[in-house]
Amino acid sequence: MTGTDAGAEAASLFTRASVADGPRYAGTMSQDSVILHGTRAGVRTLTLNRPDKLNAANDELLLSLTTALQAAEADDTVRVVVITGAGRGFCAGQDLGDVSGRNMTFTEHLNHTYNPLIRTLRGLNKPVISAVNGVAAGAGASLALAGDIRLWAQSARLIEIFSNIALVPDSGSTWLLPRLVGYHRAFELMALAERVDAAEALRLGLCEHVYPDGTFADEVQAYAERLAARPANALKLTKQALNAALTSTLDDALDQEAALQQLAGDHWEHREGVSAFKEKRAPQFVRENG
Ligand code: T3D
């Protein structure tokens, strides 16, 4: 399949499904957009859509993705966000064709594009799944690592490729990767720009699950729907607690847990969970008015 065919295939998933037996994804979608949006069963799927360039990131894509994440946050019907790529790539990092004529320093560019994106993604009050359908390189690798849950297709691979063009890893890779694999393995992956395949990614803890390429999109949707049925307020507070704990002392984490537990315990979700346990039924955490 060529990149163009792959883009058309990704776009046609929306078109075909919305007229067939129940939409696979529904919602707004335009074929020329660099980010395709689709929502089904509380799952908002954002698809990077520059398949001819393995979804390499230009400014339009980066700013649109940040805006799309903010829109997902503001939409009460969205309970889980999935980020994936159209075609055979997830994201090949910065579009290298876009760099030379740029009217910004590297620092300005990162502060204008990648850093707001990663901050928005990591700060989202809803679970974000990085659905890594193919190669994730450079800042695309950072994006692949940044999700709360990382699901990989069998043929996906991750490359901390920055040193091939004599740059420093960015978009959060220097913060995330050593926390996942330790300083030394992180340095080696970055220094040698080694490819990490799906089996190795699973072993290293860079992803939670690997699925066959052929059923990947369906597996991701099914996983995301499981997550969407969980208590949204409790997951929001869990994210806040974990993110704060990543840089805090045990003492601070205990204080934080005590404060957040009050917010969780006062919420209707907690009462529903306890009632469901006593009544020996499944809890119902999805309500129209949140
Ligand atoms: O602010 C700043 O600018 C600093 C921020 C930096 C963040 C970064 O991400 S730096 C890292 C930038 N990315 C790269 O260096 C990766 C470059 N790409 C590759 O090395 C390879 O494409 C891959 C290893 C990712 C995949 O290889 P392969 O063999 O599977 O595919 P391919 O044939 O190389 O690529 C397919 C097409 O995508 C090809 O176009 P063509 O020849 O068919 O017309 C290729 O040029 C294009 N493409 C892939 N990556 C990029 C790209 N075009 C522009 N920019 C890319 N990053």
What percent of the chain has pLDDT above 70? 88
CA dist 195 to 90, 136, 153, 206, Å?
Answer: 14, 10, 15, 13
pLDDT tens per residue across span 186-203: 999 999 999 999 999 999
Distance CA 55, CA 10 (A): 12
0.85 exceeded by pTM:
yes
CA dist 17 to 12, 20, 51, 81, Å?
Answer: 8, 5, 20, 19
For ligand 1, the distance from its centroid to the CA atom of residue 91, given in whole angstroms, is: 9
Residue 270's pLDDT band (boundaries 50, 70, 90)?
A: very high
Mean of pLDDT over the chain: 90
CA dist 247 to 9, 23, 174, 240, Å?
Answer: 42, 42, 14, 12
pLDDT at 24 over 60: no
162 lines ligand 1 (CB under 6 A): yes
Report yes or no: 14 and 38 within 8 Å, Cβ to Cβ.
Answer: yes
Residue 9's pLDDT band (boundaries 50, 70, 90)?
A: very low
For ligand 1, the distance from its centroid to the CA atom of residue 288, given in whole angstroms, is: 43
91 lines ligand 1 (CB under 6 A): no
Distance CA 242, CA 247 (A): 9
Name the residue with higher pLDDT: 47 or 25: 47
Please name which of 4, 217, 40 lies closest in space to residue 29, comparing C-alpha atoms: 40
Domains, the chain, ordered by start: 8-228 (3.90.226.10), 232-279 (1.10.12.10)
148 lines ligand 1 (CB under 6 A): no
Residue 48, beta-bridge partner list: 35, 85
CB atoms within 10 A of CB 290: 11
Distance CA 271, CA 263 (A): 12
CA-nearest residue for atom 5, ligand 1, is 94
